Amino acid sequence: MADIPELTLDQVEARLGQPDFFVFDTNGPGRWRRSHVPTAKNLNPYTFAASELPPEKAAALVFYCAGPG
């Protein structure tokens, strides 16, 4: 995935709240309720609709999860 840039935690933290920067937590809803990055929206990676993503095509989108298990 060389064409998809990765951000460090510090870079994400510095950009939280900026326009056109959106964070999506792809963990299950229970894990999201217990703990998530501030401003992160819970998103099911298997069933989401395009309407759940921001309409701004140039926006930066960050997706994260806790990993398998």
Sheet strands (E) in the chain? 21-25, 41-42, 60-64
Q: Identity (one letter) of the amino acid at 51?
A: S
Asked if residue 48 is part of any domain, the answer here is: yes
Asked if residue 5 is part of any domain, the answer here is: no
Asked if residue 69 is part of any domain, the answer here is: no
The number of folded domains in the chain is 1
pTM: 0.87
- Can you give the pLDDT at residue 4? 86
- Can you give the pLDDT at residue 10? 95
Asked if residue 9 is part of any domain, the answer here is: no
Going by the DSSP 8-state scheme, the letter that residue 43 receives in this structure is -
Asked if residue 33 is part of any domain, the answer here is: yes
- For residue 45, the number of C-alpha atoms closer than 13 Å in the C-beta half-sphere is 10
Pairing of strands 60-64, 21-25: parallel
| Structural domain span for residue 48 | 17-64
- pLDDT tens by residue, the chain, 69 residues: 568 889 999 999 999 999 999 999 999 999 999 999 999 999 999 999 999 999 999 999 999 998 665
The gap between the terminal CA atoms of the chain, to the nearest Å, is 23
Asked if residue 32 is part of any domain, the answer here is: yes
- Can you give the pLDDT at residue 66? 86
